[in-house]
Structure 1
Amino acid sequence: MDDQTQVPTAGPDARSAPAGPDSLATRLPPHLWFAVSAVFHYLGPAFAVLLFPHVGVLGMAWLRIATAALIFAPVTRPWRTFARADSRTRLLLLAFGACLAVMNCSFYLALDRLPISLVAAIEFVGTIAIALVGLRSARNLAALAIAVTGTLLLIDVKWSSDPVGLFWAFLNGALFVGYIVLGHRVARAGAGDGIAGLGAAMAVAFVVVLPIGFADALPAFFSPPLLIAAIGVGICSSVVPYVCDQLAMARLPRSSFALMLSLLPVTATLIGVVVLHQIPSLGDCLGVVLVVAGVAFHKPASAG
């Protein structure tokens, strides 16, 4: 079934007026929102790795989710979202929130043991299946093949000898698929509901991680510079990209969004150059070109 057929009917403007500042959200193309998300998706985690020695892995995950939850709360009022939602929507928001919590924790646990390029590659693997569901054309199959080839060149398909790290990386990859599926449903729930749903889900995520990383996060509360840095990571990791994802998901077919996620290893490489001073090889550069070409060649299903 085409993923577009799953969109609930919520009025003629449901697809053209996603949550957030309607004028800006509708004026800018969804691909631009995704591009912003792609940059911040690994920018925040790259800085988070530098904070692991000070607040621990789970402490950093706690601070990231707490920051996002506290920023979203006064804007989206998650308690009202839950009060007005029907039982099915509440279950969706609970599942989305639990997914966000465990995904963020497993992502950081993987980054603590594995290179960011390998974690990014494993994260992208699960999205291939989502992209395949909505291909519907030889052109899009070719686009996916080009993007996957570029990704494999980019990350050099190297495997780690750390089974624990790989476990967390694959768990994160599986939950990232859940994030796409559940996030897409929240974004398509109706006009104006996407960001409110995200805020409610983030509140759930905070409740889930509250007892897990609080002890590790405590040192940040006694060091203003460390706390400010952690808050910055939370904004870059869980506020900016998730909001942009919602604005993009509300107007892009799920398969198109999944294919565009092949850009994430590209942004991971570029951020690695800027933040971690990891200079890409010639093969990495070729991979970047192929991934960009694949995404550019892809034709969204909604385009006819």
Structure 2
Amino acid sequence: MSDRDGILRPSLALLGGHISVNLGAAVAKNLFPVIGVEGITAYRVGFSALLLLAIFRPWRSPITRRDAGNLLIYGTVLGLMNLLIYRAFDRIPIGVAVAIEVTGPLAVALLSSRRPRDFAACALAVFGLYLLLPLDAGPGQLDPAGVAYAFGAALCWALYIVFGKRASTLRGGQGVALGMLVASLFTVPLGIAYSGAALLAPPIILTGIAIAVLSSAIPYSLEVIALRGLSQGLFGMLSSAAPAISALAGFAILGEVLTSTQWTAIALIVLASAASAWSARSVKVT
């Protein structure tokens, strides 16, 4: 198998994961007024943990003490990333929140890079993010807490890449299943405490299951494939397409109209991701 073929499959898996997670996020935003951010996070993480445990049955293979430590950090940042980005969605537009969040994987890509052309691709993506953010609208247009939550999610995403890469070495989907279990141990009780009996309404349960499948079970399983086949830097750079996919999902589901500047930003981010994937032909997968 050629280097290009070896990178294509995990790259497509990562793209599919981003499409799924952003569709789920757009659907979830409609439920924020009903059961709150904490309730949505509980459904997303809790149902995802149950699904992944049933599918992969991670208890069949023992794990080492080192793996347990990695999974503890991986699962913790996974749960925090879900909670923080939903808090950001509740206060600022989805496209803006994801544009801020993607600075996490971009930082990983920059720190992992060793070649000037990777820095050029990163710079192109950063310029696209600059155009995507409504910096000319004035500081009062964005909720400071929402921006802070998005940057917190960015930090969690960076840590997720690092420790997810280590967890991806476990058998099958064992790493993502156990990581989601760790995440559920604090997000589910938090959601129950916040939303209470509202979580048990049948329409909410059905929608919550759909959100869990779209936002966590599918994308995190696909990202295990991506993390196993891509270097940390390439994974981070390809993830820079997330704001573009998020903006498109917001337009399709929430009716968010994109400006010409935002479309330009999307084109730049997609171009940066394509350039990174092209240059990765000669990158040794680690």
RMSD (CA atoms):
2.2
Q: Matched residues in 2 for 1:166 and 1:262: separation?
A: 18
Using the alignment, how far apart are the partners of 2:234 and 2:7 within structure 1?
A: 20
What whole-Å deviation, never above 9, does each CA across 1:136-181 have from its counterpart, x for those lacking one?
Answer: 2122111111122122223334655533223322211111111111
Q: Given the alignment of the two structures, is residue 272 of structure 1 paired with residue 250 of structure 2, yes or no?
A: yes
Aligned length: 275
The structure with the greater share of residues assigned to helix is 2
Structure 1 residue 94: Cα displacement: 1.2
Q: How does 1:9-28 map to 2 (within 5 A)?
A: none
Which region of structure 1 is more displaced relative to structure 2, 165-174 or 27-36? 27-36
Give how far 1:113 is off. 1.2
> 2:41 maps to what in 1?
61
Q: What corresponds to 2:154 in structure 1?
A: 173
Normalising by the residue count of structure 2, what TM-score does the alignment of the two structures yield?
Answer: 0.89
Alpha-carbon shift at residue 301 of structure 1 (Å): 7.1
Q: Which amino acid aligns with 1:209?
A: T
What's the TM-score, normalizing by structure 1? 0.84
Q: Tell me, yes or no, if structure 1 residue 74 matches structure 2 residue 54.
A: yes
Candidates 198, 201, 216, aligned match of 1:219: 198
Distance 1:274 1:65, change over 3 A: same
Determine whether 1:256 maps to 2:237.
Answer: no
Residues 203-255 of structure 1: CA distance to partner in whole angstroms, max 9, x if unpaired? 1111122321113153231x222210111011111111111111111101110
% identical aligned pairs: 31
Whether the aligned pair in 2 keeps the contact of 1:155 and 1:265 (CA below 8 Å) is no
Aligned-pair CA distance for 1:302 = 4.7
Could you tell me which of 82, 90, 95 is aligned with 1:112? Answer: 90
SS at match of 1:173: helix
Q: Matches of 2:132 and 2:92 in 1, distance apart?
A: 16
Q: Please name the residue that 2:217 is paired with.
A: 239
Distance in 1 (CA, whole Å) between partners of 2:48 and 2:282 is 32
2-structure distance, mates of 1:125, 1:272 = 20
The corresponding residue for 1:21 is none
**Partner residue, 2:14:** 34
Match for residue 164 of structure 2? 183
Distance 1:144 1:51 in 2: 35
Segment drifting more, 161-170 vs 124-133? 161-170
Aligned residue number for residue 130 of structure 1: 108
* Aligned partner of residue 30 in structure 2, secondary structure: helix
Structure 1 range deviating more: 294-303 or 225-234: 294-303
